[in-house]
Amino acid sequence: METYTLIVLLLAATIRVAAPLLLAALAGMFSERSGIIDLGLEGKMLGAAFAAAAVSAVSGSAWLGLAAGIVTSVALALLIGYACITHRGNQVVAGMAVTIMVAGLGPTLGLAWFGLGGQTPQLDGPGQRFTAIVWPWAKTAREAPFPGLLYAELLSGHNLLVYFAAALVPFSAWVLYRTRFGLRLRAVGENPQAVDTAGISVTALRYQAVIISGVLCGVAGTYLSVAASSGFVRDMTAGKGYLALAALIFGKWRPVPTLGACLLFAFTDALATRLQGVALPGVGVIPVQFILALPYVLTVLLLAGFVGQAKPPKAIGSPYGDK
């Protein structure tokens, strides 16, 4: 019974950790499928997290915060797009540059505006955060361990953005495989020349992809500062953007496998949190640092050995057009 509750709570935590990862990974999927390496995921998320928390704190509306997060992230995405698509810049450099810039810019602006050491004010007013939505009868269902507890913890009790992320998986798959836009997107990441000769603008298509990535990163960042916690703190993305990129590769640039990868990484993360300070039989207490490194060690192992060959879109990383 005790173990069962623990496992359910662990899974619930997994979902909460997975949501931003998934949003960012799907953002990366749209960008990379179009042939643009998305190393700016981390930066776009962080920028959105800051903007969302700041606007929500000032305006008192989580929704305005979300809008600000999306606008900021899209602006950063367009900056990357301008460098990489219009000016054929190096995609890795552009993405990293934006990430580094935002890492410094957020806290600096935060300090100037709120004077709280680079953080944003605590979001504790009504409507300033996206809070858990409790489904009907969840409270009473909790009494029955199975399936009541599953219903109460896994289905019910998450904030709106988690459900959005979940719905995004089938929707992305539909867009990618069942629509004209998806066909063109997949084509432009494989062979932009084929798209060009078919009379479609490679530039427009890639900008669209980059903007979608911006929107989704905006939601992911907002989730971090306005839903999962109550305010922005320095470096709050903590490498999630890179982890999302790893999940995307692990998921072979496909929506459903990417969901699986995100859940796996989130599970190790949730597990690591649970295991802190817990004495394991025969091992004793594992040092916190080691446990925290677990998701990343797992990533390296998975990518190195177990995934097999992850084939990226063929034209990824290479600018298109006349020199």
Partner 1 sequence: MTALELRGIDKRFRAVHANKAVSLTVARGSVHGLIGENGAGKSTLMNVIYGFHRADAGEIRVQGKPVTIDSPQAAIAAGIGMVHQHFMLVENFTVLENIVLGAEGGRRLASGLAKARDELTRLAREYGLEVPLDAVVSELPVGLQQRVEILKALHRGADILILDEPTAVLAPQEADQLFRLLAHLRAQGKAVILVTHKLREIMAVTDRVTVMRHGAVVAEVATRETTPRELAEKMVGRAVLLQVEKGPARVGETLLNVDHLEVRDLHGVPRVKDVSFALRAGEIVGIAGVAGNGQSELLEALAGTLQPSRGEIRLEGRDLVREQLDPRARRRLGLAHVPEDRLHMGVIRSFSAQDNAILGYHDRPAYNRGLLVDRTAVRSDCEQKMRDYDVRPPNPKLSISAFSGGNQQKLVLAREIDADPRVLLVGQPTRGVDIGAIEFIHRRLVALRDAGKALLLVSVELDEILGLADRILVMNGGEIVGELARAEATEERLGLMMAGIKAEAAS
Interacting residues toward partner 1 by CB under 8 A: 177-184, 186-187, 190-191, 193-200, 314
CB of 190 to partner 1, least distance (A): 5
Kindly state the DSSP code that residue 152 receives in the 8-state scheme: I
CB of 194 to partner 1, least distance (A): 4
Contacts 24+ apart (CB under 8 A), 274-279: 274/6, 274/10, 274/13
CB of 138 to partner 1, least distance (A): 37
Write out the two tokens for 248.
């995307």
Coil vs helix vs strand at 229: coil
Q: Which is nearer to partner 1, 179 or 273 (CB)?
A: 179
Q: Which is nearer to partner 1, 198 or 278 (CB)?
A: 198
Q: Which is nearer to partner 1, 152 or 187 (CB)?
A: 187
Q: What angle do CA 247, 267, 263 make, to 5 degrees?
A: 40
CB of 35 to partner 1, least distance (A): 12
Q: Which is nearer to partner 1, 139 or 178 (CB)?
A: 178
CB of 182 to partner 1, least distance (A): 8
CB of 191 to partner 1, least distance (A): 5
Contacts of 166 (CB under 8 A, 6+ apart): 19, 22
Report the C-alpha gap between 176 and 254 in whole angstroms.
Answer: 9
Give the closest residue to 269 by CA, choosing from 11, 31, 4, 6: 11
Q: Which is nearer to partner 1, 90 or 196 (CB)?
A: 196
Report the C-alpha gap between 150 and 142 in whole angstroms.
Answer: 8
Q: Which is nearer to partner 1, 3 or 197 (CB)?
A: 197
Q: What angle do CA 122, 127, 133 make, to 5 degrees?
A: 110
Q: Which is nearer to partner 1, 192 or 218 (CB)?
A: 192
Q: Which is nearer to partner 1, 261 or 315 (CB)?
A: 315
Q: Is 128 exposed, middle or buried (0-12, 13-18, 19+ CB in 10 A)?
A: buried
**Beta-carbon neighbour count of residue 272 at 10 Å?**
19
CB of 205 to partner 1, least distance (A): 11
Q: How many CA atoms lie within 13 A of 119 on its CB side?
A: 13
Report the C-alpha gap between 95 and 82 in whole angstroms.
Answer: 12
Report the C-alpha gap between 123 and 268 in whole angstroms.
Answer: 29
**Which residues, listed in sequence order, are joined to residue 285 by a DSSP beta bridge?**
279
CB of 171 to partner 1, least distance (A): 14
Kindly state the DSSP code that residue 158 receives in the 8-state scheme: B
